[in-house]
Structure 1
């Protein structure tokens, strides 16, 4: 069994892309399990530094580094802290790719943010379709 974990700022597309890639991996590869921690943007900076300290990810939060908007790791080993980096890792390691275009990524990001904040989605047809897809 391979266990992956993801934590990230839920209103950032990097989190959405990495979360979707993990969903694809878990669906395609039965030995993969995923723990997810979506975090609000106002608490992310503190949480990313806590996670970096807890797991020993020394580069995350260093004063010379920009705070990553997402972290993906397994058993104390940071796999990626950017969506592009994780997409390359998934393609090279498992031969899988993201199945969303940029518009869909943005729509999922907005839906994830609303879900975390407990806000009802607008009643437009695009948002209703995404909400139904997320419920599946």
Structure 2
């Protein structure tokens, strides 16, 4: 059983990593939107929306009080998993008439960032939930 300061430190590290990864995901989408994805029907608006929401969720992860961190992490994990799923669909069968190439700019970094972010966010949600229960 970890001591309370150790648990707090683990939650802080996970929170910081999750916020950084989520912000990176948002930045990737905003960069791609600015580099021309904005001109794609349906997909362009979704890239902008994803970029903005990713950045807002990153800030929410940093600002959420300890008691409210688990739900914020869980929602962000679901959002990121959905983003990762959309990328897989666009790489395989297409999404809204758009097919992405694995060789396209930032596809591989996006896959890595989003996959790792989902894992870190899931760990954060569990750790924050457990931390909140132990504090009561």
Q: Same fold (TM over 0.5)?
A: no
Structure with higher Rg: it is: 2
* TM-score, normalised by the number of residues in structure 2: 0.31
Q: Which has the higher contact order (CA 8 A, sep 6+)?
A: 2
TM-score by length of 1: 0.31
